Structure 1
């Protein structure tokens, strides 16, 4: 059983989102939401904004640069310790 508020679906399939949920999630009249089915449940969520998506890509790119720098240092240490790899 769900711990959320029960709502009645209108004849046209409309449901009003509870005010507390709208306020906590920053959903206002006119905003778009994503409605999907997941494991037999109806899920309503705010879509990812372009700004959030761009921030995620920037964070991933930065982490990729950091890992590449770490690997470059590690590879240099390995070369110093093991010497040059043979040309097979």
Structure 2
């Protein structure tokens, strides 16, 4: 385990997160965290905020739009290079 720190669990089951980790993950008193079991480990995570989630969706949408525009351009370029494509019809001979 890299940079692990040992903590003692209090009588009420409480553990103090190390200051270094609270600062790294921007966790302050009163913030909510998610706690879950992952195999034999206990994982504590800061939940994703609505703003972070919305920003991720905006970035994904922008990426999809850029890809769509690029593929549209490539398709036009291919059509110009190939000319008209024959109209193939299945079963008509």
CA RMSD of aligned residues (A): 1.6
TM-score under structure 1 normalisation?
0.87
Between the two proteins, the alignment pairs up a number of residues equal to 88
Could you tell me how far apart the structure 1 residues matched to 2:15 and 2:5 are? 12
**Structure 2 match to 1:24:** 24
> Unpaired runs of 5+ in structure 1?
none
| Structure 1 match to 2:69 | 69
Structure whose alpha-carbon radius of gyration is higher = 2
Q: 1:10 deviation in Å?
A: 2.4
TM-score (norm 2): 0.83
